[in-house]
Structure 1
Amino acid sequence: MQTRHSPAVGTLTTVRFHPTASVMMAAGMDENISLFQVDGQTNPIIQTVHLEKFPVVRARFYPDGSTLMATTIRSTSFYCYDMIVGSVTRVRGIRGLQESYIRRFELSPDGKIMAIEGTSGYTHLVSLKTTELVGRVKVDGKITSSAFSLDGTTLYTTSNSGEVYIWDVGMRRCINRFPDDGSNDTTSIAVNDTYLACGSESGIVNVYQKDSCLQTHIPKPLKILKGLVTSVNQLAFHPSGEMLATASSQKANALRLVHMRSLSAFSNFPAKEKKGLGRPQSLNFSPGGGYLGFASGQGKARLYRLKHYKNF
């Protein structure tokens, strides 16, 4: 495993890899979105898009890589950057959406739906094709995180009451609901074809067999991970399904990699470095799993090469 550093780009909130090109995006509160060519050596910056008076809270690539979407702190507007043409478009709100701002969102892997985490427990479903509100679902309490299944047909949401909701996106209905084992406040969620992972305010991460979460109202975790001691706000499965990254932005160096076959953390990561990792704000694996990128909380995007995986 090798580590590289990108140039400083302000207080970062989002790090994401492009789905098809060897490009990493870093965006933050300095109103900039920076794109880096990932070569594993110097990782040069290739473009910076400045969004005037628009500190970026969250940014995501469309699943096909054609567009980059960004939201800010308190606004119902969001920006779309056309990666092909190089044009920036400001979308000034969504008709029918009764929220004071659009901040946290996820895009379905099939490229059809934008799920916006709203207030009063609502998640709003917006068509990416027409930018129209097409439905909404609701949890009891406050929504804390959301994640789509890999095929985009199912949406998983968590609440501050420690419950997990599983939604049929097409039917807009709850197909299962269960308490996250031992959690009073589930803060993050990640899912792949085999596993579902939930992070909590206490730092615990529960790993479930995904099928059991669909079939029973009280699934039992395969493993309770206790490597973190502060609120878990970042979870990501490696594309191969062989690893799970867990992180907390509340504590320096609070980033762990878990081997899924043994359900144990890698003892050699994070390696001891003079300046440490900072407080990880956002993390993402590249499409082929060869890289791990995250925002360090020090104004830098950190990039790790996972040598076991040959593809970007």
Structure 2
Amino acid sequence: MKRNWSKPRGKAQIKKTRNNDVDSEEAKLSELLFHKSKNMSEKLKSQDDLNSELDLKPAWVDDDDLNQMASNPMLKGKAEYADKLKQKFQTMMGTPSWAKIKPKTADEDTDNILNRVGHLESKKRMQTGTGLKPKVLEIRSVQDANVETKNEGPNIYCFEFHPKLSVTMVGGSSGVVSLLSISVQQNKKLHSFELKNWEINIARFTPSGTHAFIASTGPYRQYCYYDLVKAVPEIIDLPNLVEYINNFELSRDGKYIAICGGFDEVLIFSATSRELIRRLKNNSNIVSICFSHTSEQLYCYGTYGEVTMWDLSTFRSYRKFYDQGCVNGSLITSSPCGRLLATGSGEGIVNIYQTSALKESTTYNPEPFHVVSSLCTKITGLQFNASTEIMAIISNVLPSAAKLVHIPSYKIFQNFPTQERDIGLLNGIGFSPNSGYMGVGNDKQRALLYRLKHYKNY
């Protein structure tokens, strides 16, 4: 009879098996309760990597606490016990997402630099409008934006800057639209196309910068939708309701198109679907329209100075007032910050209103916050820069009829335009997104470009 000489199961093997069962049960329970899918070693490794990248250090160290802990063993023991509890909690549970410290990005470092370096403009400083000094503007004339083309027509009406790239769109009386790359050293032509029998008066980039809307004032029932990526212009037909385009405006958020034919009605279209949304009936014929900074309101400026404020969420007028001293209305525009509304008349007067005061007041003849009377001819151009520190006023009736107004002092910059240089009749004006450049179109085929040195970016 053979005996089985195999080794009996020892206590050590039984204990090891029980530990494995316990570990597996704990792992299942941890996954069930806390949905932990990663291994503990991976978590610890990622946590160590994060701490090494951040190089965390205490914000300050109290010497008195260290001395008391060294002299009192009880405090030292409590501190060690707290550290063990913290380590055990992090090992079992991990660090919560709200308690994780993310490493600084390049944008955050840039913001810190902008907040500390004096000659650069921080975002907060740009919004408050306190960085630009009045009286003298640091401005320099650079090479014309259309130096390589000069075929947009004798009159340059459009000078629109791209919202994200150092590119401008120039259009004029010949129907040619040019996309130009601009810089201080050299300006180059990127692309040009022609819309036959058109006189380009209006050009607007979409907020994304991938498309542009181009229109011509006059008896046209069409506008151009230009794809910058494919470099393909598309002609869009308007409904028969539009007989004459006097105003064509794209909302700042790119959702609406407002078209007015110079009568008492404004048509609101969807910029994406191109469908007619609503017809707004005004009390008088309209000469100018503009959207608010949030695109939630529409301002209509009547022939005799009546301003109607429309709420685009309900498409109802909520405020009407008469522009003080206006005999013949000309232009209306709102500031990018939303605090100011400016009107220009045929007599060369520019009235500036505070939108907050207009909402609170119910009078039909509110007092303007400030009046600018530096020009004596019809206002044909009115534009704020991005930080609402400069307001540009132009008139195409007399040569070199232009003024730049400092905000909030409302003083005229004395060094623009220069007296020794005739820049001709000015038809259109615009500022780049960060106000580094200003563009002016005249009646001599020139798209004049200026560098504003106070602003460091395009």
TM-score norm. by structure 2 comes to: 0.65
Asked if the contact 1:61–1:67 (Cα under 8 Å) also holds between the matched residues in 2, the reply is yes
Q: Distance in 1 between matches of 2:202 and 2:356?
A: 30
Asked if 1 retains the 8 angstrom alpha-carbon contact of 2:330 and 2:343, the reply is yes
Q: Say if 2:291 is the partner of 1:148.
A: yes
Residues 1:269 and 2:416 are matched in the alignment: yes
Measured in 1, the distance between the counterparts of 2:286 and 2:368 equals 22
* Runs (5+) with no aligned partner, structure 2: 1-138
3-state SS, counterpart of residue 264 of structure 1:
coil
* From 217, 238, 247, the counterpart of 1:93: 238
Q: Higher relative contact order at CA 8 Å, sep ≥6: structure 1 or structure 2? A: 1
SS in 2 for 1:294: strand
1:88: Cα distance to partner? 1.4
| CA displacement, residues 117-165 of structure 1 (integer Å, 9 cap, x when unaligned) | 2242111100011101101223222211111111111111101111111
The equivalent position to 1:49 in structure 2, one of 190, 193, 200, is: 193
Whole-Å separation in 1 of the counterparts to 2:313 and 2:214: 25
Asked if the contact 1:66/1:83 (under 8 Å) is kept, the reply is: yes
CA distance in 1, matches of 2:276, 2:194: 28
Could you tell me which of 241, 250, 266 is aligned with 2:388? 241
Q: Does structure 1 residue 169 correspond to structure 2 residue 329?
A: no
Contact 1:14–1:59 (CA under 8 A) maintained in structure 2: yes
* Of 357, 372, 375, the match for 1:225: 372
Structure 2 CA distance for aligned equivalents of residues 28 and 238 of structure 1: 22
- Work out which of the residue numbers 430, 433, 439 in structure 2 matches 1:293: 439
Query: Pick from 200, 203, 219: which aligns with 1:59?
Result: 203
1:30: which partner in 2? 174
Contact 1:71/1:103, CA 8 A, preserved across alignment: no
Instruction: Note the residue ranges of structure 1 that are not aligned, 5 or more in a row.
Output: none
- Counterpart check, 1:251 vs 2:395: no
CA contact (8 A) 2:262 2:287 kept: no
Moved more, 47-56 or 13-22: 47-56
Contact kept in structure 2, 1:58 and 1:103, CA below 8 Å? no
Superposition deviation, residue 215 in structure 1 = 2.3
The answer to whether the 8 Å contact 1:71/1:104 transfers is: no
Q: Runs (4+) of structure 1 moved beyond 3 Å?
A: none
Structure 2 residue 428 is the aligned partner of structure 1 residue 282: yes
**3-state SS, counterpart of residue 91 of structure 1:** strand
Do 1:162 and 1:183's aligned partners in 2 also have CA atoms closer than 8 Å? yes
For residue 68 of structure 1, what is the aligned residue in structure 2? 212
Tell me the CA shift for residue 103 of structure 1.
4.7
Q: Give 1 or 2 for the bigger CA radius of gyration.
A: 2
1:295 deviation in Å?
A: 0.8
1:102 aligns with 2:240: no
* Aligned partners of 2:245 and 2:262 also within 8 Å: no
How well do the aligned residues superpose, as a CA RMSD in angstroms?
Answer: 1.4
Kindly tell me the number of residue pairs found equivalent between the two proteins. Answer: 309
SS at match of 1:212: helix
Question: Which residue number in structure 2 is paired with residue 40 of structure 1?
Answer: 184
Q: Measure, in 2, the Cα distance between the counterparts of 1:149 and 1:283.
A: 19
User: For residue 353 of structure 2, what is the amino acid of its counterpart?
Assistant: Y
Q: What letter corresponds to residue 71 of structure 1 in structure 2?
A: A
| Contact preservation (8 Å) 2:434, 2:457 | yes
- Structure 2 CA distance for aligned equivalents of residues 182 and 255 of structure 1: 21
For 1:81, give the aligned amino acid.
Y
Please tell me whether the aligned partners of residues 247 and 289 of structure 2 are also in contact (alpha carbons under 8 angstroms).
no
Name the stretch that deviates more: 190-199 or 48-57: 48-57
Using the TM superposition, give the Cα deviation of residue 101 of structure 1 relative to its aligned residue in structure 2, in angstroms: 3.1
User: Does the 8 Å CA contact 2:390/2:407 hold for their aligned counterparts?
Assistant: yes
- Residue 201 of structure 1: which of 318, 321, 346 is its match? 346
Alpha carbons of structure 1 residues 138 and 251: separation in structure 2 relative to 1, 3 Å = farther
**Who is 1:124 aligned against?**
267
Contact 1:78 1:102 in 2 (8 A): no
Counterpart residue type for residue 212 of structure 1? A
Identity rate, percent: 32
Rounded to whole Å, the distance in 2 between the matches of 1:53 and 1:162 is 33
Once residues 119 and 304 of structure 1 are traced to their aligned partners in structure 2, the CA distance between those partners, rounded to angstroms, is 33
Q: Write the distance in 2 (CA, Å) between the matches of 1:51 and 1:243.
A: 33
Which of 201, 210, 214 aligns to 2:355? It is: 210
Quick check: which one's helix share is greater? 2
Inter-partner Cα distance in structure 2 for 1:191 and 1:214: 15
Indicate yes or no: 2:407 matched with 1:260.
yes
- Greater CA deviation, 263-272 or 4-13? 4-13
Q: Deviations over 1:61-86 (max 9, x none)?
A: 12221211112332101111101111
Taking the aligned partners of 2:282 and 2:377, their CA distance within structure 1 comes to 24
Conserved? CA contact 2:184–2:451, under 8 Å: yes
Amino acid at match of 1:54: W
Structure 1 partner of 2:276 = 133
